[in-house]
């Protein structure tokens, strides 16, 4: 084989192997705050379940599909809470609830993304809110990726669920009368970071 043929063969091999190697590497995605809204519901006076959402969220998700692993780092701005009810927005940010003046952000650190059949199905991690950190696992009920035609980059979306007791974070107001369970439902979209 001549040097020219060897060079052509090697270049051809690289064209096949390099994309596969790149796809196998861990991929980083930035959360799209315009399409990500963690929402929650909690009992109100034992009469109904009130629902709110946070409108400002940021963070990064790293997925290693080949290894079946990943991490999640999310920051939620507490003052962005929205119930569609002005008085409730103000009350929930007060000292007896989220105490947004003292604790303006909540964070979630997912240290282990669990995969089944090549897709993420759960995240094990911890939620920090009001200065308190507690373990929290998310169940991923939907996951899909595609190339966004407007961005020309891969975008992944997911829906996740979890529940916790607000009293674990110091929100004790009317917990005995109304109940302390909080249900989370999170819609998230994240854009793959461009290669450096």
Other CB atoms within 10 Å distance of the CB of residue 162: 20
In a domain, 21, yes or no: no
In a domain, 53, yes or no: yes
In a domain, 18, yes or no: no
d(CA 3, CA 10): 10
CB 62 within 8 A of CB 29: yes
In a domain, 123, yes or no: yes
Other CB atoms within 10 Å distance of the CB of residue 34: 10
**pLDDT confidence of residue 196:** 59
CB 106 within 8 A of CB 129: yes
CB 76 within 8 A of CB 36: no
What CATH number is given to the structural domain containing 71? 2.40.128.110
CB 78 within 8 A of CB 104: yes
In a domain, 13, yes or no: no
In a domain, 172, yes or no: yes
Question: Number of structural domains, the chain?
Answer: 1
Q: Region 6-11: what's the mean pLDDT? A: 44
d(CA 163, CA 139): 10
In a domain, 9, yes or no: no
The overall average pLDDT reported for the chain is 85
Domain of 109, in residue numbers: 27-192
What confidence tens digit (pLDDT) does each residue in 124-183 have? 999 999 999 999 999 999 999 999 888 889 999 999 999 999 889 988 877 677 778 889
How sure is the predictor about 2, in pLDDT bands with cuts at 50, 70 and 90?
low
Which of 16-20, 79-83, 179-183 has maximum average pLDDT?
79-83
- Between the CA of residue 134 and those of 72, 82, 84, 129, what are the distances in Å? 16, 24, 28, 9
Q: What pairs with residue 139 in β-bridges?
A: 122, 161
Q: Region 14-27: what's the mean pLDDT? A: 52
**pLDDT confidence of residue 126:** 97
What confidence tens digit (pLDDT) does each residue in 30-75 have? 999 999 999 998 777 666 778 889 999 999 999 999 999 999 999 9
**pLDDT confidence of residue 148:** 86
In a domain, 16, yes or no: no
pTM summary value: 0.81
């Amino acid at each position: 084989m001549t040097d020219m043929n060897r060079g052509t063969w090697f270049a051809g091999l690289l064209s096949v192997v390099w994309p596969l190697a790149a796809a196998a590497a861990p991929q980083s995605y930035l959360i799209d705050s315009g399409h990500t809204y963690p929402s929650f519901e909690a009992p109100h006076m034992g009469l109904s379940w009130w629902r709110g959402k946070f409108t400002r969220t940021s963070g990064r998700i790293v997925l290693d599909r080949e290894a079946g692993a990943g991490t999640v780092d999310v920051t939620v701005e507490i003052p962005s809470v929205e119930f569609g009810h002005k008085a409730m927005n103000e009350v929930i940010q007060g000292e007896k609830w989220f105490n947004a003046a003292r604790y303006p952000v909540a964070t979630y650190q997912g240290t282990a993304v669990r995969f089944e059949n090549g897709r993420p199905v759960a995240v094990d991690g911890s939620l920090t809110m009001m200065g308190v950190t507690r373990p929290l696992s998310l169940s991923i009920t939907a996951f899909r990726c595609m190339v966004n035609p407007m961005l020309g980059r891969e975008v992944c979306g997911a829906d996740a669920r979890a529940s916790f007791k607000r009293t674990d974070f110091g929100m004790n107001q009317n917990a005995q009368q109304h109940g302390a369970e909080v249900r989370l439902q999170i819609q998230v979209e994240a854009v793959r970071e461009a290669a450096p």
